[in-house]
């Protein structure tokens, strides 16, 4: 039995009771699901404690991180983290602790990043630690040696104040409270003169004393405690280990834990395929509600996409059932039974006998017509000899939500429509766009590859051309927008990640350019960027934007006739419309009046972070 009491956190402080933050992290769910998949399909059970950076298999994992290959990895999958990894070159667990803590607004605003990276290139004996004139030379070295003389953690800020400015424990705790993320209400300045003046009085250089406080002040914006960073670093390493040694289970676990992270299912699947994992399409004869693993093909198991990837398809989730156990009896009585979920009906029917036709499938599963349309539109009837267009045509001929009786089903197969004509084959570009519109990814291709000739004729290069070898060259590059970021610490700079069939390109949009092209930056789904390639000595490459153009209308060339007959598409952000077509919104409408899922958008939304 548990009792929840809502007390104000300040009252808890007054009562001097200990407070503990309990974080619910999506990556913990993902890791658990990965471990379950490995046990079920590979016969070995892992726990968090089994995977340690001190183990002998850590070398390839750190090699992967040093290359910046961290898509899907906890905490280090953002573009800023991917760019930092090749510069920091982590080789130990504590390096990951640093990696988690350093790409944060606090260290960035406190100007701690570049000094730390510079000191990593130095020999230990070359690193100097400030000390008061005539005082103990190791006074701050004892505090800062683990971070090479640069304060990165809240605990270090408190120890500096106590060691260098001789703060009492009460004053240091007040400083900590002022630094705390959710308490940063302008209380830091009152500590500034106290700390700086005391440090100068003890013999520290005034410039160093001021810069030291300025660094500490940066912690007012999301500075990390060391313990917090260490806890996160463990999940960084575990998820990195899974990505390297079990990319099949990692891909499957990530897909089954969506939505989470920076990247959409298309990029997760693409990354797995780049790592030699076979990914198989959704199919009524093979798929389950969740994404699953199948027999090994090559080095890894194959990933079978599940029905959960289909927008609007009702799928049973075991985790949801566990949550339902805590509900009241009345709520449980209103809950949907497990066997009524669409994916459960398919699995149960498949156990009885293999499906022989779409009519047979409809009769055995007794699914509503909406479910059949979603499956047909997701191209899930290939094993029954029907492509997307043929399946949709066949489903439309079925009665509305009336299960076919045995003899009627047989008659339907034996007496084809006399007026029916052979359906034209659906072109590959149209297939790919339809895949993205229904399951948010395609195993058949990338939309950009069908626009490549058109863009090449215009002088627009592929994303792979934005590379170190082309440093300082001016180029035109186009791609689908995956992620937009405008961190508070970046002073108005927007970072964009574009994707095409060759890979990704990282775009930097300075504030003045953003002012001029705001509509294109924030609204375009397919964007063309004109700018200059910049590469660092560590081969971190960006395309610095000078001009941007919304090319989303070019995606319409790949769409089918139904999309072509749509209302004129408005410019900018309105091109991407959310799919909010719940069945309950159409309870009084015949199924054929439900708007088609593919009529509402061209590609899934980008993932935007501000």
245-297: per-residue pLDDT in tens? Answer: 999 999 999 999 988 887 889 999 999 999 999 999 999 999 999 999 999 88
Look at 6 and 412; give whichever has higher pLDDT.
6
Three-class SS of 458-502: CCCECHHHCCHHHCCCEEEEEEEEEEEECCHHHCCCEEEEEEECC
Of the candidates 496, 602, 502, the one whose C-alpha atom is nearest the C-alpha of residue 555 is: 602
Q: How far apart are CA 38 and CA 41, in angstroms?
A: 5
Structural domain boundaries of the chain?
Answer: 25-104+226-277, 123-223, 446-610
Summarize the confidence of residues 414-440 as an average pLDDT.
73
Q: CA 151: distance to chain centroid?
A: 30
CB 30 within 8 A of CB 254: yes
Phi-psi bin for 464: left (phi > 0), alpha (psi -120 to 50), beta? alpha
State the pLDDT at residue 277: 95
Q: Stretch 323-341: mean pLDDT, rounded?
A: 70
Region 455-465: mean pLDDT is 93
3-state secondary structure 329-341: HHHHHHCCCHHHC
pLDDT in tens, 432-441: 888 888 888 8
3-state DSSP assignment of residue 375 = helix
Q: What is the pLDDT of residue 504?
A: 87
Residue carrying structure tokens 């509402």: 600
Are β-strands 503-509 and 292-297 bridged in parallel, bridged antiparallel, or unpaired? unpaired
Give the residues across from 500 on adjacent strands: 503
| Exposure string over 106-139, b if 16+ CB within 10 A, otherwise e | bbbbbebbebbbebeeeeeeebeebbbeeeeeeb
- Please, are residues 498 and 508 in contact by the beta-carbon 8 Å criterion? no
pLDDT value at 410 more than 60: no
Nearest-Å Rg of the Cα atoms of the chain is 28
Three-state DSSP class for residue 532: strand
Calculate mean pLDDT across residues 286-315. Answer: 94
Burial code (b: 16+ CB inside 10 Å, e: under 16) for 394-408 equals bbeebeeeeebeeee
* Each residue's pLDDT tens digit, 86-141: 989 999 999 999 999 888 755 665 567 888 888 998 988 888 888 888 778 888 88
Q: Which residue has the tokens 């267009």?
A: 389
Name the architecture of domain 446-610: Beta Barrel (2.40)
Average pLDDT estimate for 472-496: 85
**Is residue 325 over pLDDT 80?**
no
The rounded mean pLDDT for the chain is: 81
Task: Name residue 297's beta-bridge partners.
Answer: 300
Give every CB contact of residue 180 below 8 A, 6+ residues apart in sequence: none
The three-state secondary structure class of 533 is strand
pLDDT (0 to 100) of residue 540: 79
Q: What sign results for the dihedral spanned by CA atoms 22, 27, 30, 34?
A: negative
Instruction: From the options 3.40.720, 3.30.530, 1.10.150, 3.10.110, give the CATH code of 25-104+226-277.
Output: 1.10.150
Give the pLDDT mean for 149-162: 82
Count other C-beta atoms under 10 Å from residue 97's C-beta.
26
Q: 24 pLDDT band (50/70/90 cuts)?
A: confident
| Alpha-carbon distance values, 512 to 299, 342, 498, 573 (Å) | 49, 51, 21, 21
């Amino acid at each position: 039995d548990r009792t929840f009491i809502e007390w104000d956190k300040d009252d808890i402080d007054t009562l001097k009771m200990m407070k503990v933050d309990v974080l619910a992290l999506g990556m913990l769910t993902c890791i658990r699901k990965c471990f379950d998949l490995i046990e079920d399909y590979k016969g070995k059970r892992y726990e968090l404690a089994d995977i340690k950076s001190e183990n002998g298999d850590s070398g390839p994992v750190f090699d992967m991180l040093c290359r910046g290959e961290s898509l899907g990895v906890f905490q280090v999958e953002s573009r800023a983290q991917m760019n930092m990894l090749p510069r920091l070159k982590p080789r130990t667990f504590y390096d990951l602790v640093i990696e988690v803590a350093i790409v944060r607004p606090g260290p960035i605003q406190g100007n701690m990043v570049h000094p730390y990276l510079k000191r990593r290139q130095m020999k230990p004996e070359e690193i100097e630690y400030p000390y008061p004139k005539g005082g103990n030379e190791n006074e701050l070295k004892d505090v800062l040696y683990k971070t090479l003389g640069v304060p990165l953690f809240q605990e270090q800020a408190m120890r500096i104040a106590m060691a260098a400015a001789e703060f009492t424990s009460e004053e240091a705790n007040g400083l900590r409270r002022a630094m705390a993320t959710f308490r940063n209400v302008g209380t830091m300045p009152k500590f500034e003169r106290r700390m700086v003046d005391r440090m100068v009085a003890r013999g520290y250089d005034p410039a160093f004393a001021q810069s030291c406080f300025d660094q500490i002040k940066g912690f007012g914006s999301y500075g990390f405690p060391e313990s917090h960073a260490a806890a996160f670093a463990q999940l960084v390493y575990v998820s990195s280990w899974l990505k390297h040694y079990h990319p099949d289970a990692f891909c499957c676990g990530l897909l089954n834990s969506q939505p989470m992270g920076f990247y959409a299912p298309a990029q997760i699947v693409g990354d797995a395929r780049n790592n030699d994992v076979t990914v198989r399409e959704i199919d009524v004869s093979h798929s389950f509600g969740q994404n699953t693993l199948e027999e090994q093909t090559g080095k890894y198991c194959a990933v079978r996409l599940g029905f959960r990837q289909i927008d609007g398809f009702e799928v049973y989730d075991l985790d949801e059932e566990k949550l339902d156990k805590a509900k009241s009896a009345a709520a449980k009585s209103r809950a949907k039974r497990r066997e009524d979920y669409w994916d459960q009906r398919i699995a149960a029917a498949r156990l009885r006998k293999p499906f022989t036709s779409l009519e047979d499938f409809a009769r055995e599963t007794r699914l509503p017509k909406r479910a059949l349309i979603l499956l047909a539109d997701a191209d899930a009837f290939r094993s029954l000899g029907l492509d997307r267009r043929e399946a949709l045509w066949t489903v439309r001929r079925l009665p509305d939500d009336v299960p076919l009786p045995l003899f009627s089903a047989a008659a339907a197969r034996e007496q084809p429509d006399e007026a029916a004509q052979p359906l034209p084959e659906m072109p590959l570009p149209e297939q790919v766009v339809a895949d993205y519109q229904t399951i948010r990814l395609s195993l058949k291709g990338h939309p950009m590859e069908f626009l490549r000739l058109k863009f090449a004729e215009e002088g627009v290069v592929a994303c792979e051309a934005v590379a170190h070898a082309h440093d300082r060259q001016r180029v035109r590059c186009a791609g689908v927008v995956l992620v937009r970021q405008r961190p508070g610490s970046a002073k108005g700079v927007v970072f964009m990640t574009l994707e095409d069939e060759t890979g990704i390109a990282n775009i930097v949009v300075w504030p003045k350019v953003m002012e001029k092209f705001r509509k294109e930056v924030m609204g375009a789904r397919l964007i063309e960027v004109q700018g200059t390639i910049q590469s660092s000595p560590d081969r971190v490459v960006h395309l610095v934007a000078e001009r941007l153009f919304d090319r989303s209308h070019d995606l319409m060339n790949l769409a089918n006739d139904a999309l072509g007959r749509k209302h004129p598409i408005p410019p900018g952000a309105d091109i991407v419309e959310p799919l909010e077509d719940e069945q309950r919104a159409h309870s009084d409408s015949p199924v054929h009046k439900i708007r088609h899922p593919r009529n509402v958008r061209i590609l899934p939304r980008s993932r935007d972070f501000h």
